[in-house]
Amino acid sequence: MLMEADLPEDIEALRAFALEQVRILTAERAAAAELALAKGEADAEIERLQSIIDAFMRHRFGARSEQLDPDQLQLGLEDVETALGQARAAREAASPQSRSDRPRKSNRGSLPAHLERIEQVVDVEEVDGIRACPCCGGALHQIGEDVAERLDVVPTTFRVLVTRRPRYGCRSCESAVVQAPAPARIVEGGIPTEALIAQVLVAKYADHLPLYRQAQIYARQGIQLDRSTLADWVGRAAWYLRPLRDHILERLRRSERLFADETTAPVLDPGRGRTKTGQLWAYARDDRPWGGNDPPMVAYVYAADRKSERAEAHLGDFAGILQVDGYSGYAALAKRRQQVQLAFCWSHVRRKFYELADKSPVATEVLRRIALLYAIEDEVRGSSAEQRRALRVERAHVVVDDLRLYLDARLRQVSAKSKLAEAIRYALNRWAGLTVFLEDGRVELDSNTVERSIRPLALNRKNALFAGSDEGGDNWAVIATLIENCKITGINPHAWMTDTLTKLANGHQANSVSELMPWIAVA
């Protein structure tokens, strides 16, 4: 605060002093106005970007969710949220006090207790061995402290494991040489540990990093590894891991209910100089929605085509309920094998009508009724199979019966060649399979369980573009099976893969692969 004693006594000096104060005040006001403008612009930009994010989220969870690929949606959200972070930084620079004005709505992340804590102390500087008060110079004493935690990272660190095996000779007989056997390896005579091979597998099949990109990452740290070398490691690991995939598939065959789906797998066809279209078939089981005791699992199998005979060969002597989409090959399978009953997917029915909802009141009404079924399913999820069936009979049965009557009536009123008629026939032709869930509380309303398991394959396909051969497609199926089972079981795939490869390299018995399953690790 300016005191009277601070004012000069000379008139000219006083005038000059006053002008200087006016200049300072004007500059401060201009700076404040500039900051206010910058803050206002930042606030407006934040509001605009937040509205875009809100629109994305409405699109994701709203009525039009099926018009945008989920992966593309995530990419779009990443870009917008990055811009939002930039706008927040601009606002905080313009108005530092705003940092604490508003709490963040976003998840800032959590810091697990198991992470190593490295403490650093930021303290007041000492002068002549004491911490002095800036006001009076008196000695300070601690009255508390503020503690903040931030997440740090140490970039991937490579190391070299040096194995020494001393040799011993006998002074008595002189002919004997004793040495401990060399540790077994997945790649005999090669340089990778099982942990490194596991890292390559997880990066490729869980994080969708093609091998050539991994080679580039290693090269940045001075590790020169050819893509072909990494591919050799993957192939050797796949050979060891194949019995585990086959065991999972055999376990699935003994189930009473399965989900099945398939997706394309482009495969290089060198003879024609282009790719051909193979298929990755997925078979899954998940009894958690009704409290079943069997662990969830999924198995992938590669095949050169989409013929129904493929699924028949994969399923072996499976007898039970097979929940699938509308692919006609499954109907042919069930016709040939009476022990297989098909349950169809209401989500696929919904998609047929969703495409027409903007132009057809009939499609809108069908979607409304299907939404009632999903609302009932939300209530019964987690209940026992008996409870699920009872509530479905009480509430869902009448919705399904009324919907059937509604579809029959509308089909007679619309053009037989229209898209609406096509959607109605799609549902009616599969009605017996669509109503299986009413009879069995263990059956789901849709096949989303296996579709979620298919998604990682699609992501890997986008990044890798194609498999190099049919054998490569089969290796893809083997390793992806084990990675996905780790994920649905809730364990770290790298830790499991490292441990499993080590055991396999050391001669784990092929007839006891059940002991290596991911769900055993959490039992």
What is the model's pLDDT at position 337?
Answer: 86
Instruction: Tell me the chain's radius of gyration from C-alpha atoms.
Output: 33
The C-alpha atoms of residue 18 and residue 24 are separated, in whole angstroms, by: 10
What pLDDT score was predicted for residue 99?
A: 47
* Rounded distance between C-alpha atoms, residue 288 and residue 489, angstroms: 11
Q: What domain count does the chain have?
A: 1
Residue 206 lies in a domain: no
pLDDT of residue 67: 46
Which pLDDT value is given to residue 66? 46
- Determine the pLDDT at residue 64: 46
What's the half-sphere exposure (Cβ side, CA atoms, 13 Å) at 233? 25
Q: What is the pLDDT along the chain (523 residues), one digit of tens a residue?
A: 445 555 556 666 656 666 666 676 666 666 666 666 666 666 776 676 666 666 656 555 544 444 445 554 554 555 555 555 566 666 666 665 554 444 444 455 578 888 889 998 988 888 888 888 888 888 888 899 998 888 888 877 889 999 999 999 988 887 888 999 988 888 888 899 999 999 999 998 888 888 888 999 999 889 999 888 888 888 889 889 999 999 999 999 999 999 999 888 777 655 555 667 788 899 999 999 998 889 999 999 988 888 888 888 899 899 999 999 888 888 888 888 889 999 999 999 999 999 888 889 999 999 999 999 999 999 999 899 999 999 999 999 999 999 999 999 999 998 999 999 999 999 999 999 999 999 999 999 999 999 888 888 777 666 654 555 667 778 889 999 999 999 999 999 999 999 999 999 988 886 788 999 999 876 5
Can you give the length of the chain in residues? 523
pLDDT computed for residue 303 by the predictor: 87
What does each C-alpha distance from 448 to 80, 370, 497 come to in angstroms? 28, 15, 27
Q: Would you call 56 exposed, middle or buried from its count of C-beta atoms within 10 A (0-12, 13-18, 19+)?
A: middle
**Residue (of 238, 247, 263, 254) closest to 299 by Cα position:** 247
For residue 426, is it within any domain? yes
Provide the pLDDT for residue 55.
Answer: 61
Contact call for residues 286 and 476 (beta carbons, < 8 A): no
pLDDT of residue 465: 47
Residue 299 lies in a domain: yes
Q: Is residue 271 part of a domain?
A: yes
Spatial distance between the Cα atoms of 195 and 127, rounded to a whole number of angstroms:
52
Amino acid occupying residue 43: D
- Both tokens of 204, joined, read 């490729």
369 located within any domain: yes
Please report whether residue 255 resides in a domain.
Answer: yes
pLDDT score for 270: 54
Q: State the pLDDT at residue 404.
A: 96
Domain that holds residue 446: 251-473
In 125-226, which residue ranges form alpha helices assigned H by DSSP? 194-205, 211-220
In degrees, rounded to 5, the angle at the alpha carbon of residue 91 between the alpha carbons of residues 87 and 97 is 150
Per-residue pLDDT, 518: 92
In terms of Cα–Cα distance, which of 46, 71, 45 is closest to 60? Answer: 71
Residue 320 forms part of a structural domain? yes
Nearest to 469 by CA among 319, 199, 271: 271
Calpha distance 481→369 (Å, rounded): 36
Q: Which two tokens stand for residue 429?
A: 């032709």
Q: Retrieve residue 484's tokens.
A: 């996905």
Distance CA 247, CA 147 (A): 51
Residue 512's pLDDT is: 86
Q: Return the closest-CA partner of residue 470 out of 266, 211, 261, 209.
A: 266
Residue at 300 is within a domain: yes
The amino acid at 449 = T
pLDDT at 8: 55
- Cβ proximity of 470 and 302 under 8 Å: yes
Q: Which residue has the tokens 């009932």?
A: 376
- Secondary structure (3-state) at 323: strand
